[in-house]
Structure 1
Amino acid sequence: MTITQDSLLDGITARVIDTSRLRVNVLERTGDDPAAPPERTVVFVHGNVSSALFWQEIMLALPADLRLIAVDLRGFGDTETLPVEASRGLGDYSDDLRATLDALGIETTHLVGWSMGGGVLMQYALDHPALSLTLQAPVSPYGFGGTRPDGSRLTDDDAGCGGGGGNPDFIERLRAGDTTADAPTSPRSVFRGSYVASGYTGDHEDIWVASMNTTSTDPGTYPGDSVASTNWPGFGAGDVGVLNTMAPGHFNVSRIVDLDVKPPILWVHGTADAIVSDASFFDLNHLGALGAIPGWPGEEVAPAQQMVTQTRNVLTAYEAAGGDVTEVEFEGVGHSPHLERPEEFRTALLQRIGYAR
């Protein structure tokens, strides 16, 4: 679905570039200097079920002497739709990002990643240099679902994780491009109930919903495959597709603690995040404990993943090993601090990248 051009704010342009791996759509700010040095360049990476369109407001709010680029990941926005090899974790996305920066002539830069995009950046940092990482509501370094606080896996087949956890009605509504709020599983309802905290209002909700609806549901994309499991709730993670990239058997970037050169990190998150939290409403084990999914085998067997605690533990170890970490926690904010608290997000980002006129 090609809709980016119809969803651009004044001052933002889109173009598709050829890279060594795939065709990638990028958003840029009108008038930015393509020759800006790395320390004045910031690249934004979106999360799952979204696209680069979500970054437009913050791009327009940042100082005019920065060069700003937002990238559509494969299968999202107007970037080419290709299957995702989930057995590599988020490696396909990380490699795509490197190929995009190569095509743009950017050797290194400041990187900002949201949700799954934060996981992409942690994987990227394991493979390539970066000037800094800003992780907004990032997936845990141990993946999504199915782990104990120390990151160890609950089951060998990652039961309850990956592609089998995608809601079938939500997937059908994405496929149909649903823009209504007629059901709790419509993209608009999911945005209002999960992407932002209660009370959020904004001028561009139609664009955010359009962005969500660019998500490809072709085979090998969202949500991905699954396998039968003898463990509750009866399925385990597959090897292809978006949700499987973050299954703990495929994704573990806690090794960032051991990097010889550690990029400075800004970790931004909200206390009312429904998606990435220690009690996530997208974690089937937490839903089982609430009685929303029958047959839950109990806390000893299937505890909820402590996502924020895991991230804090890894980043604390990162700092103890010589890394520079700043945590900014927004009270009452959901999964999208850059939308919900844009001025505070802007200030924290500029401080992280060391911006000075």
Structure 2
Amino acid sequence: MSDQARAVEARSIQTKRLSMHTRMAGEGFPVLFVHGNCSSSAFFQGLLTRLPRGLRGIAMDLRGYGDTEPKPIDATRGMRDSSDDVASLMDALGLTRALFVAHSAGAGVVMQLAIDHPERVAGLVLEAPISPFGFGGTRDVDGTPCWDDFAGSGGGTANPDFTQRLKNKDRSAEGNTAPRAVLTGSYVKPPFKMEDEEAMLDSVLSTHVSDVHYPGTFSPSAHWPGVAPGDTGINNSFSPKYFNLSAFAGISPQPDVLWIRGTDDVIVSDTSLFDFGYLGKLGFIPGWPGEAQYPPQPMVSQTRRLLERYAAQGGRFHEEVFADTGHSPHVEKPREFERLVFPFLQEHAR
């Protein structure tokens, strides 16, 4: 670990695609930090300040979040609008290769970048990564869709009350759809308390709410639960209709992968409280067609299957599971996280 706190500098970088807001700290081999849905680069502030010598941390706000230019998200490209943005940031900074630390949906961004530009990825830390088949609407470890229109995924799966309160920048803690309640009850495992909760809430509330950002559009479906993906916005970009990382198993060269997750993650899980299949099974969404037609999405198992295929083709991955931890191990167990991640980054900084 570093022997003193690193100063973090906020900078806007003009790329060929858009202006990206970044936080930077340290000097040396570049490490790009990529955040997840409904957050921003602020989620990595603590990690940046403690980054070891010899590493240059660069955390960016993806399009639709924070202070990056809010260009629309074309979901029909999967997450390539965001992964191409990250590649363009590397170009603007003169970086041919980098290490990556990617959280939640950000892992999907970086794995897509690795599919398109494997030579640019020196090593990859996946923290609570989104499934390689996105979020919602698939039935098994191979990503088979429950319905042919991918109903149960996309922009229509977002809670409308949460979306409105996000748009209103509601800072209250009233009700379970308040952004603060989601942050403290789902991003981490209660009763964990964030020392910087207000800054983290600012990060959540920096999400741009619109049809072309969060959550995006949706289409009606004749299939349960009645909504299918639209073609714009972040939630549609990781619908399995458009998003499929199966090709990651065959990339060359093959960067080493460190996969870290919490045992009590309620967002990315084989029993996710944000997955319509699991919510239907629990009785929270009426009309569930049953386990045979629409089982809970096995998100973690899908990731493991892909990484096992990666290993079978010569790649290397290591899985670490943090006990009594939710969706954000780097926030909930920072020292344990850093004891694993910092040596990995130092080893692969070449």
TM-score range, shorter-chain basis?
over 0.9
Aligned AA (2:101): V
Distance 1:144 1:168 in 2: 17
Q: How does 1:1-357 map to 2 (within 5 A)?
A: 11-29=7-25, 32-33=26-27, 36=28, 40-128=29-117, 129=119, 130-149=121-140, 150-355=142-347
Structure 1 alignment gaps of length 5 or more: 1-8
Cα deviation for residue 10 of structure 1 reads 8.4
Give the TM-score normalised by the residue count of structure 1: 0.93
Structure 2 alignment gaps of length 5 or more: none
Distance 1:65 1:265 in 2: 20
Contact 1:197-1:333 within 8 A present in 2 as well? yes
Distance 1:27 1:356 in 2: 22
Name the % identity: 45
CA deviations over 1:186-235 (Å, ceiling 9, x no partner)? 11100111000122122100010000000001331100111111100111
Distance 2:250 2:96 in 1: 22
Aligned AA (2:24): E
Partner of 1:6: none
Distance 2:74 2:190 in 1: 36
Distance verdict in 2 for CA 1:337–1:176, change over 3 Å: same
Cα deviation for residue 13 of structure 1 reads 1.9
CA deviations over 1:30-55 (Å, ceiling 9, x no partner)? xx23xx2xxx2211000000000000
Cα deviation for residue 157 of structure 1 reads 0.9
Equivalenced residue count is 342
CA RMSD of aligned residues (A): 1.5
CA deviations over 1:111-164 (Å, ceiling 9, x no partner)? 111000000011000011200111100101111111122211111111111100
Aligned AA (1:148): R
Distance 1:294 1:270 in 2: 30
Contact 1:265-1:352 within 8 A present in 2 as well? no
Contact 1:271-1:329 within 8 A present in 2 as well? yes
Aligned AA (1:18): Q
Distance 2:146 2:42 in 1: 36
Moved over 3 A (4+): 354-357
Contact 2:139-2:146 within 8 A present in 1 as well? yes
Stretch of structure 1 that moved more, 107-116 or 344-353: 344-353
Give the TM-score normalised by the residue count of structure 2: 0.95
CA deviations over 1:221-260 (Å, ceiling 9, x no partner)? 1001111111001111111111001111100002111112
Distance verdict in 2 for CA 1:24–1:148, change over 3 Å: same
